[in-house]
């Protein structure tokens, strides 16, 4: 398992948290959103999932991954 933290812009409420964490769960990752830090910490199996796929899943929900 690998863990990364991404900075994400556009998150402001619990709907944002649920949207991002749900999208990550759908692709097989586990995410923990921090609204105050504007970040998402994600754990995933790097053999099954790429960082690019994770970024795409977040951006598909309407948020901007800045790192």
Q: Where are the domains of the chain?
A: 2-65
Averaged in consecutive runs of 10 residues, what is the pLDDT profile of the chain (67 residues)? 96 95 97 96 96 96 92
Fold of 2-65: Alpha-Beta Plaits (3.30.70)
In this prediction, residue 54 carries a pLDDT of 97
- Residues 6 or more apart in contact with residue 65 via CB below 8 angstroms: 6, 7, 8, 55, 58, 59
In this prediction, residue 67 carries a pLDDT of 67
What distance in Å separates the CA atoms of residue 47 and residue 14, rounded to the nearest whole number?
30
């Amino acid at each position: 398992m690998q863990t990364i933290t991404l900075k994400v812009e556009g998150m402001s409420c619990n709907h944002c948290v649920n949207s991002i964490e749900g999208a990550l769960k759908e692709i097989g990752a586990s995410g923990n959103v921090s609204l105050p830090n504007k970040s998402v910490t994600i754990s995933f199996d790097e053999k099954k999932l790429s960082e690019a796929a994770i970024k795409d899943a977040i951006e598909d929900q309407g948020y901007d991954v800045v790192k």
